[in-house]
Amino acid sequence: MNNSHAHYWNELADEYNRSIRITTADFHYGPLIPGDSELKLLPEKLNGLRCLEFACGAGQNSIYLARQGAICTAADISNKQLNSGKKLAATEQVNIDWQLLSMEEITSVLPGPFELIHSTYGLPFATDPEKLIAGLSKMLAPQGILIFSAPHPLFSGEWLELDDAPGLFLQNYFSPEPDIRTDASGHESCRSNAYPISKISTWLHAAGMVIERILEPLPCSNPPYASSVWEEYREQFNHAPGSIIFKAGKRTL
């Protein structure tokens, strides 16, 4: 387990959970965008579905799925986030198999197969996202699906006001600047990377998967994931996507 990553998320957990509003009444995909009640990416039948959420945070999506009868495992590197999830699950009266694991440990520790593997904004924090996708593909049941969201590579750009016409400046789409998180002494704790759509598509193809959907949703009026900080980006997200969602299934012969 990456101790610096775990320390960062444990230090951030309380403030994050105070400032971010995430409902368990819908499945969320990212800040300000619609949930699955509108996007409809999840399998139609959730009751009895074996699900794995990686980089789950407090596991609101796993709790949502468990409320529909799914059998859920939720893994995260932060024990404080998992403790928050356990309290929330107890309040919601659902059972979740909580696992204290980094993304690098998941594919070697957790047994499969899973019929749904999902994550909201987890992949950008993976040390080796290509290797992670390959491992997750092997954990999927033959008809299983992988759904994950991430910051859109365009969100790495700088939003500018030029001659009263707002626009986006992105120096290099193919190698976006990472979002580097630091500790109190200024040392890097972890980073979030954005990747070109073609690169993620290549990783999925190499892992033996077929992309079923790619979504770049506009913001909505009552998002399942929101905060006052994210609301400051609403106008920008009306012009350029802040999130991207991939849905993929295993390739069949």
What range does the domain containing 238 cover? 3-154+195-250
Strand partners, 225: 22
Per-residue pLDDT, averaged over 178-187, amounts to 75
| Size of the chain in residues | 253
Q: How confident is the model at residue 245 (pLDDT cuts 50, 70, 90)?
A: very high
Tell me the per-residue pLDDT of 102-123, one tens digit each, with 9 for 90 and over. Answer: 999 999 999 889 999 999 999 9
Q: What percent of the chain has pLDDT over 70?
A: 97
Residue 164 within any structural domain of the chain: no
Mean pLDDT of 37-54: 97
Please name the amino acid found at residue 21.
R
Q: Would the pLDDT of 212 be above 80?
A: yes
Residue 159: inside a domain: no
Distances (CA, A) of 43 to 21, 23, 146, 181, 240: 25, 20, 11, 35, 28
| pLDDT number for residue 179 | 83
The verdict on residue 188 lying in a domain is: no
Which pTM was predicted?
A: 0.94
Q: Does residue 225 surpass a pLDDT of 70?
A: yes
Residue 161 in any domain: the answer is no
Is the residue at 180 inside a domain? no
Average pLDDT over residues 133-158: 95
User: Is 77 within the bounds of a domain?
Assistant: yes
Is the preceding omega at residue 166 within 30 degrees of 0, hence cis? Answer: no
Instruction: Specify which residues 146 forms β-bridges with.
Output: 117, 248
**Domain of 11: which CATH number?**
3.40.50.150
Whole-number percent of the chain with pLDDT over 90: 77
Instruction: In whole angstroms, give the CA distance from residue 126 to residue 145.
Output: 19
Q: Is residue 173 part of a domain?
A: no
If you average pLDDT over residues 87-111, what whole number do you get? Answer: 95
Long-range contacts of 237-240 (CB under 8 A, 24+ apart): 237/32, 237/33, 239/166, 239/167, 239/168, 240/152, 240/154, 240/155, 240/157, 240/168
How many domains, the chain?
A: 1
- On whether the CB atoms of residues 36 and 104 are closer than 8 A, the answer is no
Q: Evaluate whether 55 touches 15 at the Cβ level (below 8 Å).
A: no
Q: What is the mean pLDDT of the chain?
A: 93
Residue with tokens 């998002």: 223
The reported pLDDT for the residue numbered 252 is: 78
Q: What is residue 71's predicted lDDT score, i.e. its pLDDT?
A: 98
Query: What is the rounded distance in angstroms from the CA atom of residue 119 to the CA atom of residue 53?
Result: 6
**Would you say residue 145 lies in a domain?**
yes
- Mean pLDDT within 189-204: 92
